[in-house]
Amino acid sequence: MQALFLSYIYILAKLARACPSSPFHVFLIAVIVEVGMDFFPNLLHLVILCISVSLIFLIYKQKSSHAKLPPGKKGWPVIGETLELATARRRGTQEIFFNDRMRKYSQDLFKTSLFGENMVVFCGASANKSLFNDKKNLSTWWPRSILKIVFVSSPELLEDVAQKDFAQMRRSVVEFFKPEALQHFIPIMDSMAKEHLETEWSPYRKVKVYPLSMKYTFALACRFFLNVTNHSHVTKFADHFAIMMDGLLSVPINIPGTTFNRAIRAGKVIRQEILEVIKQRKKELSENNGTVARDFLTRSLLELDENGKAINEMMIASKIMSLLIAGRDSTNSAITFVLKYLAEFPHVYSEVFKEQMEIAISKGPNDLLNWDDIKKMKYSWNVALESMRLTPPTQGTFREVVNDFTYTNFTIPKGWKTFWTPYSTHKNPKYFQDPEKFNPSRFEGNGPEPYTFVPFGGGAQMCPGREYARLGILVFMHNVVTRFNWEKAILDEKLSFNIAPIPVDGLPIYLKPHSHK
């Protein structure tokens, strides 16, 4: 036993010399000096444990020495920099959070820790191009907190749903959002916008843009994705959605009374409501011998996967929830900030008004907008693009690293997560001259360089709902501009962020109806 113990002591000494800068060094030397032969029977297991832990440390250190990780810091243990980002979002300084780290570490990428995950934030046009188009090394990923709220009905299904192959559903979404498939929906959008402005805006002198336009975008999304038009049904959906969205990026503490817990419960209610709509729609389809409707739900129910089977109803419900989130929040944010900038720049408003009135005058009293009208709204769309450059409605998305890969001589390990953000390019003087200036002419001709303007992502990761958002924004712009001029009630309103940027007071404005109305 003495010989065995002396062998352990010898190994400890060698380990101590091998890693003199390690946190184990002092402890190892202390064991060698202080452990006497008289005590070795009681401490033998401790010594063995020390050797085992040290060997693991050396192996890890040797492996890490060959992997040059991106620069940056991970912040606090477990929570990383999640709380710092959450604080920045509440204060409206999320852009500063990312830009500070780009200045400190790298203009290309930096490491951090968010949502309990090792993460690399990709920055700049070249990084965007690499990230958006890398199908070999990257796959779709969502934080567990979002998965738990949006994609599952119970915690035990979390891992199963997280590993689902969403390829079939994405193909369905891409097909559904093709411009030629959306054209028939333009008159419906126009009719809904007219009704919304007549009932929610016209009776008042002062309104809050953000909550009102959200009513429009959410009703539009319910109509488009579910063919739900009943106002009480839409309102019931909207109430639960508001609770769910409040907790989507909250601290994931699932105990009664927390924002996260309320969001989970609201998510379950919404999902159950959608499943009830699915049940009723399947009955209608059966009774009508499979008559094809143009909403996303009906098309999804009629489609088959690669094995010839109907797509799982829970998968459809979860996908519709994610589409409702995008249709509700991202489109609403874009509309809100278009109206904000039109109030701030009267000469821009004047040009938009001129373009939209030419279209309005060409229409009969009962004619609704169509595809040809949308194609004439070139300047208006440039205004919307410039608004989304300065205040992006999408804050970026996550992906998971499925294979080790190298970018700019740094290794991104398998299992890590990646994130891209429009803040790394949208106001970067490297890509946009005088980036803080509101200038719609940036988008004339060929527009910005590829992968510099990314409110909808890009490449293989381009948001399939881009054209839907474009139609929703332009149709609303046409109706509100031809009906009103307006002034901001709060000149320097602050922002906060959830999924999308939000004016903290809802962007109150004073309406000035045009005399021709």
Q: What residue ranges define each of the domains in the chain, with the CATH number in brackets? A: 2-65 (no CATH), 165-394+455-513 (1.10.630.10)
Instruction: Give the per-residue pLDDT at 155.
Output: 47
CB atoms within 10 A of CB 118: 17
Contact 385, 422 (CB under 8 A): no
Residue 137's SS3 state is: coil
Strands annotated E in 182-275: 206-208
Q: Which helix (H) or strand (E) holds 405?
A: strand 405-407
**Tokens encoding 61:** 């250190």
Instruction: Give me the residue label for tokens 């202080």.
Output: 34
pTM of the model as a whole: 0.83
Contact 131, 416 (CB under 8 A): no
At residue 52, the pLDDT reads 53
Cα(127)–Cα(111) distance, rounded to whole angstroms?
A: 14
SS3 460: helix
CB 442 within 8 A of CB 434: no
| pLDDT beneath 70, residues of the chain | 1-66, 152-169, 289-293, 304-310, 516-517
CA dist list (Å): 140 to 49, 122, 465:
39, 16, 17
Sheet containing strand 206-208, edge to edge, reads 206-208, 508-513, 484-488
Given this model, what pLDDT does residue 365 score? 87
Task: Return the pLDDT at 20.
Answer: 42
Would you list which residues are annotated within the binding site for heme? 463
Q: Is 229 helix (H, G, I), strand (E, B) or coil?
A: coil
Binding residues: 463
pLDDT at residue 407, as a whole number: 94
Return the pLDDT at 65.
Answer: 46
pLDDT at res. 87: 87
Cβ 118 vs Cβ 289: under 8 Å: no
